[in-house]
Amino acid sequence: MSDHFETLARWGYAARGVVYLLLGGLALTSAIWGGRDSNGSSEALSSLLGLPFGRVLLGLVAIGLLGYALWKFAQGLLNADNRDNDLQGFATRAGQLISGGANLFLMLTAARLALSLGQGGGGGDGEEAASAWLLQQPFGPYLLGVVAGGVIIAGGVQIWYGASRGYRKRVRIPGAHQYWMDPVCAFGLIARGTIFAIIGGFLFYAALTVSPDQAGGTKEALDYVYALPFGRILYGVVALGLMAFGVYGIIQGRYRHVDAPDLDDVSAAARI
């Protein structure tokens, strides 16, 4: 079971990498041609439909995203990464559960597209769809405020993780490839962390206004970057960063340490 789960988790990292490569590529095209219509994860997935065997590719990506979501749930619920039982460890695991939920929404979008069922979720990103759903729950604004704080912190942690090369603790990059893989991984994590922090700000504003329309995702974060001074240049840099994060996902799929849970781990967690 653990071997199959590890394969699914690695496939998941690679599938998420493909999504970010497409997302960054579409944004970079907009930056080069001066367009302002940024795209979210759903639009990036939709771009696969124009390729030969596009629906088959989307189906494979959907399976990969399911694997990634399940791996995130295993990290959060079963402590598959063996995090310490302290505040930092529990906060990290909570963030992994949130990431699992967001990627589950994104997987459903990919599956709907592959099965010709349309967007279904209104075309929003996984983060946006998940936050809109959360806002509709009892005490939704308070829950969303907590999530927003977590996303902002996660963004800061990712920026630090990339700048300090903390990813090396779990990603065993071969020495022969460090000269190019390290800069790509660091750049990708910093760019994605920046986008995360912006998304967290949108979520916090949505919680304050109790308005799902304010719960922006990656698309709205990119629009925000474009509207800044020197926005087109910054937009292009962030687009390259998202592509770098996509490459980082593929590198994770190959070189990350994955301690996949087995039946004993599941049974032990169920007894807690």
| pLDDT band, residue 123 (cuts 50/70/90) | very low
| pLDDT band, residue 265 (cuts 50/70/90) | low
pLDDT at 272 over 70: no
- Structure tokens of 82? 């063996």
Mean pLDDT calculated for residue range 117-131:
53
Q: Which residues contact 112 (CB under 8 A, 6 or more apart)?
A: 118, 119, 120, 121
Transcribe 31-60 into DSSP letters: HHHT------HHHHHHGGGGSTTHHHHHHH
Question: According to the model, what pLDDT value does residue 182 have?
Answer: 95
pLDDT at 188 over 90: yes
Average pLDDT of every residue of the chain:
83
The answer to whether residues 155 and 196 touch, using CB atoms and an 8 Å cutoff, is yes
| For the ranges 48-52, 87-91, 164-168, the one whose mean pLDDT is highest | 164-168
Domain locations along the chain: 2-262
pLDDT tens-digit map of 21-31: 999 988 888 88
Q: Which pTM was predicted?
A: 0.84
Lowest mean pLDDT among 67-71, 153-157, 258-262: 258-262
The answer to whether residues 148 and 140 touch, using CB atoms and an 8 Å cutoff, is no
Mean pLDDT calculated for residue range 8-16:
91
| pLDDT band, residue 20 (cuts 50/70/90) | very high
CA distance 109 to 22: 15
More confident call, 115 vs 215: 115
Q: By percentage, how much of the chain surpasses pLDDT 90?
A: 32
The answer to whether residues 20 and 218 touch, using CB atoms and an 8 Å cutoff, is no
Residue bearing tokens 């090396």: 168
| For the ranges 111-120, 225-234, 255-264, the one whose mean pLDDT is highest | 225-234
pLDDT tens-digit map of 190-244: 999 999 899 889 888 888 877 666 767 788 888 889 888 988 899 999 999 999 9
- Structure tokens of 265? 């781990």
